[in-house]
Every structure is written in C-alpha cells, then in structure tokens.
Structure 1
Amino acid sequence: MTSSVPEPAETADTTRLYDIVVYGATGFVGRLTADYLARHAPEGTAVAFAGRSASRVEAVRRTLPSAAAQWPIVEADAADEEALQALAESTRVVITTVGPYAKFGQPLAAACALAGTDYVDLTGEVLFARQSIDKNHEIAQKSGARIVHSCGFDSIPSDIGVHVLHAAVVADGAGELTDTTLVVSSMRGGVSGGTVDSVRTQLAEMKKDGKLRRLAARPYSLSPDRSLETDFGRQLDAQVVNGTQISPSVRGWKAPFFMASYNTRVVRRSNALRDWAYGKQFRYREVMNVGTSFASPVVAGAVSVGLGAALVGMTILPRKLLDRILPEPGKGPSTQAQENGHFTMDVYTTTTSGARYRSRVKADGDPGYKATAVMLSESALALVHNRDSLPEAAGVLTPATGIGDALVTRLQDAGLEIWARKE
C-alpha cells in the first residue's frame, strides 16, 4: 500500500546558508524579534530576514543595531510555495510572525516539514494548529523537523510552567499531576492588532462551519488521539473559581483567562505527546486574578460575562464598525508602554500522593510584544545552539515537547523568572 504522505527532502545541515530566517520582519512583533536577535544572538549566528518586499525589509534592517547591518534579505511571498520551499531549505530554523496563520501560515509550515527545517511561530489559533498537525506531523517526523507552534505569550508561560512543575514533582518522587490550575497573578500589557485579527479570522471560519466550531470547542482538539484521553466529562475552560479550590494559599475568586481556550489545549497535547507523563488524571484550567476583596466573586463574574459578550460582538458586529474600535494588525504600543508591561503566572497542582506544588513564570515587558519577542527568539536560538539538550522528538510539537529544558535555561538566562517547588 502506497503512503499518501509526501516524502521529505534530504537537505543536510551543512548545505544551509543560515541558522535562522525571520519571516515577517516588517511586522510589529517581527521588528521586535529582529531587534532582539541583533542584540542577543550569539556571535557567529547566521541570521537572515525575509518578507514579501525586499525593500520594506531593508528599510527595517536600517533601523536595527549594527550587528544586523549585513544580515541577508530574502524575498518570499506567503502565497509563493516555491519561494517558501527555497527559503525553508536555506536555513536550519524559521521564525514566522506572519498571521493570521489560518490565512498565511500553512504553506510555510508545510515547506519546513518537508525540508527538515525547524520552525517556530506565535499562533494562538486552534483551527490552524489542528490543520498543521493533520498535514505536517507525519512528514516532519520523517524529515526530523520540529514544527513548534505557539512560542510566544501563546503558549510558553502555560506550557513551560507545567513542564517545570512536572519536573519538580518527578524529582521528588511525589507521584503524578492531578487537578492543575494556572493563575494569572498579575499582568499588564496591550492587545495586539495581529492577535485580534487572528481571533476574528477564526470566529469567521467557525461561524460558517459548524464542524469547525465544534472542533475548536473540544478540550482535546489538539491531542493526537482523543480516544486515548481520560474522559472527565464536560470540561469548562471559562470558569469562575474560588481561589481556595485551587490551593489553600490562593485568596479571592478568579475569572476566566481569555487565552485559556487555546493554552489549555496546547498543555494537554504536551501531556499526550509524552505518553501522558503528567498523569492520566491530569486536569488543567487557566484563570486570572481580579483581586482578593469581598467583591472579587462579583468582579470575576462580570469579567466572565464581558469576555463572552466580546466574542459575540466580534462575531456579529459589522467589520467596518469593528475596524474603528479594534487595533489594526501591524500596530502596537509605544516603547514606554512595552517597557512598563509585565506578567506573572503561577501554576498550582495536587499530585496523586496528595502533595501540593507550585511553579512560576514571570517576565518584564509587554506580554504580547516585548516579552513575546524574547520568548520567540530564544526558542529559535535554543533549536540552533542547544541541539544536544533538546528532547528526542520530531513532528508538530509544543514548546515543552519540542524544546523543553533548553528553552527553560535560555529564558532564565534572558531574565525570566522560572521555578517550581513544593508548597
């Protein structure tokens, strides 16, 4: 029987012109990523910039630190599959910030899977990630490529937070993870125009197709095989939770976290890709702090209603009206606003032995911009410079399963606070 999966190209690393190509360097986060690499990439790292217009990419390059002055420019349109394949075959790692990924992401991810090229992006789109898994996972496994989606604020804090939590539990011989909750303890930052556009694109797809709507709503929509997952019954990603139900040390009621509907699926995929190393009784949710006063349950409820209303509004309101009130793709906050941003995420779990553990991922800088540029860049740099400490894995992966401890170390060295310990 002949396989329908295309055979990947045999392109050795010795033939690669570049270590990293940043695709989408003219976008807002793309420029931040290019700037970060110019300042922090180890000496000798061969970096190139790519985009639809060479002249626009060159204009961005002129604004970067001097280290980037001679970095090459590659012209490739997102709709030109031949150009994207040539780009993928020229480099060891591709960083792409070009979204919405449902519109522009699949050809480049597929090209990297065929070429055996590692790939990182910023997607928070369930439908795109599911499509990439279905189309690229087997091909990437054959070629040895690591296609690692969601290497920014979506979903490194969540995925790495559980990764280090699990490592601490294993080191202590304390059993497996059971009920696990991420709490956004504090956060300050703007909403990305690109993120808004991605949400709008996905909502439009789901509005047209009921099957896609049901797929996006499934808690295991990114898992390799739903039939192998434990059936916990209905799992609500958008919940109002009393903090004491999370841990005795947590005070106040918590509201649903607006990124939970994507992050939870990434974390569950990590567990499945590791043969359920976190545990078959591992249940995961995400919430955010709204204060600890007597009014916190009212505030949490209001936030929950507001998030639901916002999604409904983005689905039914005319696009022209939304364009007037929502941020545009490619635009972002001022430098000062980015510097003033921050996030702190704490993950709590109870193990099968009854022990309680907590982990933290904390960073300075606007979560969706400055901090994301750090996380995305360090993901790519780990794939280039930390090959010996990467997990033995290939395919469509998550940050924890594709990069793992190498990413933790690089992020800590870059200034993020990441730890896990027994409560």
Structure 2
Amino acid sequence: MTSQREFDLVLYGATGFAGKLTAEYLAKAAGPARIALAGRSADKVRAVRDALGESAASWTIIEADAGVPATLAAMAERTQVVVTTVGPYTRYGLPLVAACVEAGTDYADLTGETPFIRDSVDQFHKQAADTGVRIVHSCGFDSVPSDLTVYALYDKVRADGTGDLTDTDLVLRTFAGGVSGGTVASMMEFFRTAAGDPDIRREMLDPYTLSTDRAAEPDLGHQSDTPWIRGVQIAPELAGVWTGAFAMAAPNSRIVRRSNALLDWAYGRTFRYAEHMSTGSSVLAPVVAAVDTAVNAAALGLGMKYLNKVPSALLERIVPKPGTGPSEQTRENGHYRIETYTTTSTGARYRAVIAQQGDPGYKATAVLLGESGLALALDRDRLSDLRGVLTPAAAMGDALLTRLPAAGVTLETTRLD
C-alpha cells in the first residue's frame, strides 16, 4: 500500500442510515484527511455531501455498486482505506473484501454477522496477510466496546506484571437507543443463512468459530452466550445486581476470542469470556433477567432453525425498512455504559469502563467506525504488525486507546485489588 493514493479514506454506503451518520462524523472529525463518499447513485451521494457543510464541500463523489465488481475494484484502487456501511454483509460484503485485498487497500465495516466473518477469514485471510492488507470487521458498537475493553485490561495487566487474564465478563450496565431497518435486515440475513445450513448452525454454537486455529484453543468447558446470574458472581462491585443475556453476546464474544488467538493467545490460555446485561437490583430484577435470557435463547435457537420458513413478504411487512432508523431525538438521548471485569492468574482484579453519549447503534457507532477508519488511514505507525482478516483490537488496539478518549469516549481501566 502506498500513501500516494488519491484518498486516505472512502466511505462506501454514504446514503444509508448509518452511512449518513458516519459521513456527518467524518465531516467534523477528519480534519485535513482526504475523504471521498461512495454509493450506487452519484446524485444521492452528492446530496448527502452537500448537507454536510463547508468541511466536506470538496470531497469527491464515487459511483460504486456491490453488484458491479469492477466499480468496487476501481474505488478500492484510489484509496488507502475503505470504510463500508453496506449490509447485510453476508449478501453484499465479500465482493468488496475481495476488491480491497486485490488492490492492497485496508478495510473496515460494521458487521455483526459471524457467518460472513467466517467466510471472509476462510476466503481472504491468507491472501490479505500475504499482500499486507488489514481487513477489519465489527468496528461499531458491535464489537469495539467488547474488544477494546478486554484489550485495555490486557494492556494494563501486562504493564503491571500481574499475570494473564482468566475469567473476564462484560456487563452492559446502561443502554438506551433505537433500531434501524439496516440492522434488522442484517439480523434477518444472519438467521436465514443459519436456518438454511446445519453446518453454519453448528459453527455459530462454537465459541471459537472465528479462531485462527481451532485445534489450538484450550478446552475450558461451556461458555454460555445466554447466562443468567447474580452480579456478585462476576464481581463484588456488582452485589445486588442481576444480569441476563446480552443480545449481541454471541458475535461480540467470538470477535474477542479471535483477538486473543490473533495475538498468539496473549490474554492467556485460560482466558474465559462472557457478556451480560444488567437488569438492576429491584425486586423484579431477577425475573426480568430470567425472561430476557429465555427470550434471547429462544430467539437465537428458533431463528437459526426456522426463520427461512417464514415468507419473506410477511417479514418485510413487520420489520423496519432498510434506510430507516431512530429519530434524531432518540439518537441524541441514547447512551451506553459497559463495565468489563477480569481476574488475573495471580488473583489481581481489574475493571475497564467504556461509555458514550448517543444512540449506541447509530450516533455512538458513527464515532467508533469513523475513528477506526481514521486510525487505519492516519495512524500507520501505531497499528499492529498483523495483516489479514483482523479484529479492531488486534489491528489497531493501541491507536484506538488513544483516539477514542480524544473523541469523547469514556475509556478507563482500574485495578480493584
């Protein structure tokens, strides 16, 4: 890859709901970076650019269509980094990954679709590694908070010399936000893919399905994606709190475990990881946690087995349409706070906190994706030496530990005892 490319970063999918928000963020945060916006319709992309204000007035418009691979190749050849919000990625993602690998262009996306990531690894990891390309999946709320809090814990524990990470648990303490049609479309695509293929269903139940070497992973027993436990079983600081299943635990946890494998199991060979959602400490909290866990388990199991039997026309009538999303008020008033706890092999305990104001899946995600793209484009000296199909932490953990706090993201790591 060469810095002589025409652009530092191309945002592909700029006319979609998440794409517009990411473009708005880049217009505020990219500074002198050379940015272009891309999509199927130049007129629609131009309308998005024209609404961004003076800072984006000179940005170039590129026509590119996932159904026309030559346009993806031409786009990738012009830039150091492609950031894409075009999903469902299972349907539209692999041709762009292929174009970026062939062009020697780094890539970042928002996917939470584990089967797509598995296909990306199988088809392109070796070629990307050989050609020096970073393909970085899951750079939004799925799965930067998960991946980066664990990486921050590892970084702190390594600096303190207190051993390896062992039992590590993410807890979503607070959350407020909405859902877009694009997110629902991605979820439906994931379930349809799994429902039509029993091999994919088996892979999705494997906690190490994204590992670099499945045979090298330790046998640590069952690691549930839908736990229902008291907070005190995670950490004394959560006494009185109940936790249930976190809907995105399955894709997030597989990204975190892939990070450990990509980093040569630097977190530790007995690193166990789970994600939870707090339901509070009221009298009803354990009931809410139990119901939440049951609903998540049922949705995951039934969706992966039977969704392809539901008529598409019926689903289209009841789910949000692609391109739609939460209102501006919902996006502004949204927020999240995540606390990730770990105990090391020497018995030391730590907590990492990440928090943002703004709807997690949209306003907050635009910051996470925008900063990930800028890190890949502008922070070349702070990126890892790894190449291939990577995770946010494995590709740019150190850069994001610096960038995100500067972008207004709360990110703190504390030793507890």
Pair 1:35 & 2:24 matched:
yes
Contact map agreement 2:226 2:297 (CA 8 A) in 1: no
Aligned 1:151-230 pairs, distance under 5 A: 151-230=139-218
1:309 shift after superposition:
4.0
Distance 1:101 1:51 in 2: 15
User: Who is 1:233 aligned against?
Assistant: 221
Residue number among 301, 305, 318 corresponding to 2:294 in the alignment? 305
Residue number among 348, 359, 377 corresponding to 1:355 in the alignment? 348
Distance 1:334 1:61 in 2: 20
Per-residue displacement from partner, 1:299-330 (whole Å, max 9, x unpaired)?
11111122234443682544333333322221
Report the AA paired with residue 392 of structure 1. Answer: D
Aligned 1:133-148 pairs, distance under 5 A: 133-148=121-136
Aligned 1:56-135 pairs, distance under 5 A: 56-135=44-123
Per-residue displacement from partner, 1:15-42 (whole Å, max 9, x unpaired)?
x111100000000010011111111112
More divergent stretch after superposition (51-60 vs 311-320)? 311-320
Distance 2:340 2:402 in 1: 19
Distance 1:73 1:217 in 2: 42
Per-residue displacement from partner, 1:202-230 (whole Å, max 9, x unpaired)?
11111111111111111001111110001
1:340 shift after superposition:
0.2
Distance 1:364 1:317 in 2: 37
User: Who is 2:412 aligned against?
Assistant: 419
Give the match's secondary structure for 1:305. helix
Distance 2:393 2:30 in 1: 22
Distance 2:89 2:190 in 1: 10
Contact map agreement 1:147 1:397 (CA 8 A) in 2: yes
User: Who is 2:392 aligned against?
Assistant: 399
Pair 1:12 & 2:2 matched:
yes
Contact map agreement 1:39 1:67 (CA 8 A) in 2: yes
Distance 1:104 1:232 in 2: 35
Give the match's secondary structure for 1:249. helix
Give the match's secondary structure for 2:18. helix
Give the match's secondary structure for 1:70. coil
Pair 1:272 & 2:265 matched:
no
Per-residue displacement from partner, 1:259-295 (whole Å, max 9, x unpaired)?
0010000000000011111000000000001111233
Tell me the matched-pair count.
411
Aligned 1:252-271 pairs, distance under 5 A: 252-271=241-260
User: Who is 1:289 aligned against?
Assistant: 278
Contact map agreement 2:100 2:107 (CA 8 A) in 1: yes
Report the AA paired with residue 12 of structure 1. Answer: T
Give the match's secondary structure for 2:237. coil
1:400 shift after superposition:
0.4
Report the AA paired with residue 209 of structure 2. Answer: S
Contact map agreement 1:393 1:401 (CA 8 A) in 2: yes
Contact map agreement 1:39 1:65 (CA 8 A) in 2: no
Unaligned runs of 5+ in 2: none
1:67 shift after superposition:
1.3
User: Who is 1:410 aligned against?
Assistant: 403
Give the match's secondary structure for 1:237. coil
TM-score, length of structure 2 as denominator length: 0.96
1:234 shift after superposition:
2.5
Pair 1:329 & 2:322 matched:
yes
What RMSD, in angstroms, separates the aligned Cα atoms of the two structures? 1.3
Unaligned runs of 5+ in 1: 1-10
